[in-house]
Amino acid sequence: MDFFRGLYIIPWSKNYISISLDVLIVAFLIYKTYTTLRRTRGIQLLLGVGIIWISGSFAEYLGFELLEWILTNIRPALVFAIIVLLQPELRRLTGDLARIRLLRLFFLKPTFDLDPIVEAVRIMSQEKTGSIIVLVKDISLKDISENAVPMDAQVTSEVLQTIFFKNSPLHDGAVIIEQNRIVCAASYLPMSSSVEIATLGARHRSALGLSEETDAIIIVTSEETGDITICYEGEMLHPVKPLELKALVSSLMAGTRRSKDDSLRKPKEKDTGVSI
């Protein structure tokens, strides 16, 4: 309640430009937080914390001393609860902030030769070979690649097919490609916590989870159906035809989006291939 009382003493007639900027920045942060959490279980926790916080203010205003004492002692612990329980969502939020176009001027522009990647995906799709190929853009995946099998190999269709061959020791995981080099294989990606994809298999949930936290482009082939899926910015495009794969990835690399008719959508099939 102190916050709302304080609004009456703000000198609105002075420094109105800085006050307007302050309000806009706070509104932007609230909007980004909501759009990041709205499809996750974190929104339920945040709503619960908000209810407790507001209840404490109303208890103080209405003179409920016992309830006020309980909530007043609980509220400091809520900050630590948010930090601990919302770690995946906080990483995703900071990743979204890093995607602002103005900040991209400070990043090295990614370069890829898409032909061998598209060829490998086409063949693996025909043969129903499960795979996950991660194309790194601006946000580094060093924390993930450090826990994978290092390679530093040239990107060729043959190498990618060999890695994801069913009996290969490296097929159970994702390949990370950065600056046209295969950085590592057998990478374990963060699972998405979105409640809307509970029916999907581990391969698609992992690809979507990484796309929610970074600006990487993830190409998935299903071991069950052979369908191609692209995950980007927390969304899925499915199914993707082999002939349109290169053009679509190129447009995502350039930061352009498709029309509303070709909007990103969730896959209906469940990928029950090898989990990663």
- pLDDT recorded at residue 198: 60
- pLDDT recorded at residue 269: 42
User: Which pTM does this prediction carry?
Assistant: 0.63
Residues in the chain with pLDDT < 70?
1-15, 36-44, 85-111, 193-199, 256-276
Each domain of the chain, given as residue ranges in start order, spans 16-98, 114-254
Q: Tell me, which fold does domain 114-254 have in CATH?
A: YojJ-like (1 (3.40.1700)
- pLDDT recorded at residue 235: 86
Both tokens assigned to 36 = 């990041």
- pLDDT recorded at residue 261: 40
DSSP 140-164: --HHHHTTSEEEEEE--HHHHHHHT
- pLDDT recorded at residue 108: 53
Both tokens assigned to 113 = 């030769």
pLDDT of 147-177, one tens digit each? 899 998 999 999 999 999 988 888 888 999 9
pLDDT of 93-132, one tens digit each? 666 565 555 555 555 556 678 899 999 999 999 999 999 9
Q: CB under 8 Å to 149, separation ≥6 — which residues?
A: 170, 173, 184, 185, 186
